Amino acid sequence: MNGSEKNGENCLLYESILNCEGAPAEKVKRALQIISSVFSHAVEGIVVTDPEGTIKLVNPAFTVITGYEPEEAVGENPRILKSDRQPAEFYRKFWESLKTEGKWEGEIWNRRKNGEVYPEWLSCTAVYDENGNVTDYISVFNDLSEVRFKDAQIEMQSNYDQLTGLSSRSVFYGRVRDELSRLKQTGGRLAILVLDINRFKIINDSLGHPAGDAVLQEVGKRLAGHLGSREKISRIGGDDFHILLSDVKTVEEVASRAEKLIHILDEPVNAGGNRLFLSASLGAAIFPEDGNKAETLLKKADLAMHKAKEYGISSLRFYTEELSDMVSSRLTLENSLRRGLENKEFSLVYQPKFSLAKRRVEGFEALLRWKTPERLVSPWEFIPVAEEIGLILPLGEWVFLEVCRQIAAWRDEGFLPGEVAVNLSAKQLHHSDLLPMIRKALDEYSVDASLVGVEITESGLMENIAGSVEILSGLKELGMKVYVDDFGTGYSSLNYLKRLPIDVLKIDKSFIDGVYADRSDAAITRAIIGLGKALGMEIIAEGVESAEQLDFLLINGCDGIQGYLLSPPVSPSETLTFRKNEISRFFLNLLQRREYATERGAASE
Ligand code: C2E
Ligand code: MG
Ligand code: MG
């Protein structure tokens, strides 16, 4: 065997065989067969183009990857694969490299025939003839989408909990640390909560692990739905969820958000064909109060959660004892408010309003009372909580229905009450259902709208002026009287006040308290009376308790009064004397004394 024969036998590469002088035709043929087989069986896509870029040849892997059959691709330009993911600058560099260096290699996004965009690793090489002119370009490419998918899966496995899709412990810790360092710069609070599903073990033991898994997935989904973009939630093994609340302003805010998280379990969870009623225990630790390291805060939140477990169903504990006590009494109040509405623990009392000009009771204000099995709770305490948790809406609806029912009963008794005003909180006023709700209550008892009024606080009105104008106009159209309650305590813009269809201003009790002892209270009260009259509104003084206050109001031309001097709020049956306009001798004497003094004053002038 001579040297050239040996050489020819081993030169299986296309290029080598071409250069292998004297290689027998048979061997050349065999080599070409092998190369052709490599071309056909390669998993890489291969494209050969002429120097102008027109496709001359593609291999089967090209068709598998791109979706184009050879007859669709040959004669076309590789532009058919263009994805528009690369800018023009990219292609300029691509061609520059091919022309100057004869090759280009890198990642590129192309588009399959079905429109799908995919990443590929592309090697493009120029082939030259003996004179150095390009005869072909050969491109070999790998589809990277599968690899990418696997990478993403691996990332997903290390960053996310397989069962719930929530962040992994390391991602969660990372976010807590990031947020802590941010808040140390900017100031602010952060809370770490640990939530544990009560009696979860029983679900697993009695209904099996698939049911337990379904519960965890559903709880994770509901919790995640309550978080903002900077916040994170993670399942740290078993049924413990760790939650990061960021940028919280006050401890109360943490409590109210944590409570919402507890209430995500109010709705039963479907698991393995069972509807399960669940509850959770929540522990909370707050930065900076309870520590400034992620590990410390998590440990304390966990301890607090174990304390919460001792308290039983759906409870929340803070790591710090005082915070816990403060929040738990509020939570108790919230829970008993919900229960109170179901158990009909609410009632209404009525405080008469007296017109000084007409010397008669013109109507009443309905005031809500809540008697729990343990105590009488003041509206000052429960109304703000009811507003915050949204319970004011069903509660307010109950008040309207009850007032209408009461007016109808009094009408049947033969002594109508004048008009009864109902207090509305800002939340009720700006709720889209207000007018339909009122209409429904009036219709249900066939009560004329002129017999019912609404009292809205000044701050409630100013919260959303445009909305207030629209709603008050709707109330006026119905024929109801509109009062501004606690006037003087908010920040009314006179300009807006003029635009609002208001009938009566009620001067807040805090000014009436001081009309005799405090010059500025007296001045403010006079000013409000003057302002109201100038705007064509009626003026009522709230909380009138003494004869001196009554004197002051009579002298200064106030239209009406309300207060303990005439009567405290009374039960429905006790309103009868007022409905009959039977005013106490004591009160009438006070009025007469003032009239007598005025007459004497006029006579001596
Ligand atoms: P408000 O509407 O300004 O009601 C006047 C409050 O002052 C009532 O307290 C009334 O009992 C009390 N008051 C009346 N005259 C005197 C007086 O001469 N001296 C003293 N010291 N107090 C007097 P109440 O009933 O505790 O209500 C407190 C607040 O709770 C009300 O203030 C009102 O803002 C709110 N509220 C009461 N009932 C309802 C309701 O049904 N719905 C809504 N949204 N809020 C209500
Ligand atoms: Mg009121
Ligand atoms: Mg008031």
Q: State how far the alpha carbon of 493 is from the alpha carbons of 71, 462, 508, in Å.
A: 78, 8, 17
What ligand has the least distance to the C-alpha of 543?
Answer: 1
409 pLDDT band, cuts 50/70/90, is very high
Cβ–Cβ under 8 Å, residues 331 and 277 = no
Token match 């979860």: residue? 200
383 lines ligand 1 (CB under 6 A): yes
20 pLDDT band, cuts 50/70/90, is low
The per-residue pLDDT for 11 is: 43
324 pLDDT band, cuts 50/70/90, is low
CATH at residue 363: 3.20.20.450
Is residue 15, in this structure, part of any structural domain at all? no
What ligand has the least distance to the C-alpha of 351?
Answer: 1
Q: How far is the CA of 545 from the centre of ligand 1 (A)?
A: 14
600 pLDDT band, cuts 50/70/90, is low
The per-residue pLDDT for 101 is: 93
What ligand has the least distance to the C-alpha of 397?
Answer: 1
What ligand has the least distance to the C-alpha of 569?
Answer: 1
Same domain flag for 371 and 482 = yes
Q: For the ranges 138-152, 208-222, 299-313, which has the lowest average pLDDT?
A: 299-313
CA distance 137 to 49: 5
Same domain flag for 294 and 397 = no
Question: What's the domain range around 252?
Answer: 160-319
Is residue 137 scored above 60 in pLDDT?
A: yes
Same domain flag for 177 and 74 = no
Same domain flag for 430 and 532 = yes
282 lines ligand 1 (CB under 6 A): no
The per-residue pLDDT for 2 is: 41
User: Could you read off the pLDDT of 331-351 as tens digits, one per residue?
Assistant: 677 778 888 988 899 999 999
CA 376, 378, 379, 382 torsion-angle sign: negative
Is residue 4, in this structure, part of any structural domain at all? no
Is residue 28, in this structure, part of any structural domain at all? no
162 lines ligand 1 (CB under 6 A): no
The per-residue pLDDT for 598 is: 66
Q: Which residue has the higher pLDDT, 601 or 583?
A: 583
- Bridge partners (DSSP) of residue 46 are 140
Same domain flag for 188 and 218 = yes
- 378 CA closest ligand 1 atom index: 26
- SS3 per-residue string spanning 188-244: CEEEEEEEEECCHHHHHHHHCHHHHHHHHHHHHHHHHCCCCCCCEEEECCCCEEEEE
Is residue 176, in this structure, part of any structural domain at all? yes
Out of 104, 126, 149, pick the residue that ends a domain. 149
CATH at residue 55: 3.30.450.20
Out of 91, 118, 149, pick the residue that ends a domain. 149
Out of 149, 180, 203, pick the residue that ends a domain. 149
- Span 246-250, average pLDDT: 84
Extract the tokens encoding 244: 């990061």
- Span 212-241, average pLDDT: 86
The per-residue pLDDT for 3 is: 39
* Ligand 1 atom 23: residue of nearest CA: 543
Q: For the ranges 8-12, 299-303, 545-549, which has the lowest average pLDDT?
A: 8-12
Extract the tokens encoding 545: 């308790």
- Span 314-319, average pLDDT: 77
The per-residue pLDDT for 138 is: 96
- 392 CA closest ligand 1 atom index: 44
Is residue 9 scored above 60 in pLDDT?
A: no
- Span 136-151, average pLDDT: 89
Same domain flag for 523 and 418 = yes
10 pLDDT band, cuts 50/70/90, is very low
CA distance 397 to 93: 71
Same domain flag for 281 and 335 = no
314 pLDDT band, cuts 50/70/90, is low
426 lines ligand 1 (CB under 6 A): no
Same domain flag for 494 and 400 = yes
Same domain flag for 455 and 592 = yes
Q: Which residue has the higher pLDDT, 207 or 477?
A: 477
Spell out which residues have Cβ within 5 A of ligand 2, the ion: 423, 455, 485
Query: Which of 348, 353, 367 best tests ligand 1's pocket when mutated (most atoms within 8 Å of CB)?
Result: 367
For 93-112, b/e burial (b = at least 16 CB within 10 A) is: ebeeebeeeeebeeebbbbb
Strand 189-197 with 280-287, pairing: antiparallel
CATH at residue 232: 3.30.70.270
CA distance 480 to 419: 9
User: Could you read off the pLDDT of 95-108 as tens digits, one per residue?
Assistant: 999 999 999 999 99
* Ligand 1 atom 34: residue of nearest CA: 423
- Span 575-589, average pLDDT: 92
327 pLDDT band, cuts 50/70/90, is low
Q: Which residue has the higher pLDDT, 276 or 57?
A: 57
- Span 118-133, average pLDDT: 93
CA distance 315 to 323: 14
Same domain flag for 557 and 444 = yes
How many folded domains does the chain comprise?
3
User: Could you read off the pLDDT of 278-311 as tens digits, one per residue?
Assistant: 888 899 999 998 999 998 999 899 888 888 887 6
Is residue 5 scored above 70 in pLDDT?
A: no
The mean of the pLDDT values for the chain is 87
Is residue 582, in this structure, part of any structural domain at all? yes
Is residue 135 scored above 70 in pLDDT?
A: yes
Is residue 29, in this structure, part of any structural domain at all? no
Is residue 204 scored above 90 in pLDDT?
A: no
Q: How far is the CA of 280 from the centre of ligand 2 (A)?
A: 39
Is residue 24, in this structure, part of any structural domain at all? no
Express as a percent the part of the chain with pLDDT over 70: 92
Same domain flag for 385 and 519 = yes
- Span 233-248, average pLDDT: 87
Extract the tokens encoding 49: 């183009």
308 lines ligand 1 (CB under 6 A): no
Q: How far is the CA of 252 from the centre of ligand 1 (A)?
A: 25
Is residue 5, in this structure, part of any structural domain at all? no
- 508 CA closest ligand 1 atom index: 3
204 lines ligand 1 (CB under 6 A): no
**Would you tell me how many other CB atoms lie within 10 Å of the CB of residue 88?**
6
380 lines ligand 1 (CB under 6 A): yes
Q: Which of 279, 287, 212, 215 is nearest to 244 (CA)?
A: 287
Same domain flag for 109 and 237 = no
- Name, in order, each residue with C-beta under 8 angstroms of 534's C-beta and a sequence gap of 6 or more: none
